[in-house]
Amino acid sequence: MTRFRLTIEFDGQSYMGWQRQPHGPSVQQAIEDACAAITGEEALVYGAGRTDSGVHALAMSAHVDIKREITAFRLGEALNAKLRGEAIAILDCEAVDDDWHARFGCTGRHYLYRIVNRRAPLALDDGRAWRIPQPLNEEMMQAAAQLLVGKHDFTTFRSAHCQAESPVKTLSALDVERIGDRLEVTASARSFLHHQVRSMVGCLALVGIGRWSVGDLKDALEATDRNRLGLNAPPDGLYFVCADYPEG
């Protein structure tokens, strides 16, 4: 038995999210089916995070155990061949220690949210970014974002379907940067609540267009009440960037 670490890129528009679902296609299922076709074995693929329907990944980490003798290079090549036609690519495949775990060994997760701030519709980025036609004040958004950094009860920014035991999370970084007509919101933490990043971005957008003040966002956070959420951003612009693991 060999445990392989996979680094995966995918466009989430065609999937119900990372996790296998009974009611539609998922990224996990596509990779597990490809592994089974290659090895003849039932495969279980464990990811570093669970993404929602429509959410993308630049470098999702995952692992799978394979009994058949196969090199990492051949497995990666075979998976990409079997996944042809899917919006999924195996960027890297490597053998790791048997106790390496994509989810439980992860010490940090990083997300990117892409906003296109223009009136014109999206021709190239449709489904891959959130278009906001109103002018956004990125400096106010950045100031508001800093209120969310640190250890807080993020109940306001938590989905009603979230299965986490506690709403308390420690956000290590949340930054807003403008590049021309595009805004990039980056978020880092050991772990996130369901919908937390999208909910934070939605409220930051309200600050950016002037519908909320920085104080309104602070009040929403302190209320610890999902009913005080101003806006949940669509999944289109959200990307799982990468996961951190201890060295060695």
Write out the catalytic residue numbers.
Answer: 52
- What does the block give as tokens for 19? 């996790």
Let me know: does 211 contact 104? Beta carbons within 8 Å: no
**Rounded CA separation 187/241 (Å):** 10
**Rounded CA separation 235/239 (Å):** 9
Read off the amino acid at residue 205. Answer: A
Read off the amino acid at residue 34. Answer: A
CB atoms within 10 A of CB 145: 25
**Rounded CA separation 63/45 (Å):** 6
DSSP β-ladder status, 108-116 and 238-244: antiparallel
Strand partners, 115: 130, 183
- What does the block give as tokens for 199? 């909910």
Let me know: does 159 contact 195? Beta carbons within 8 Å: yes
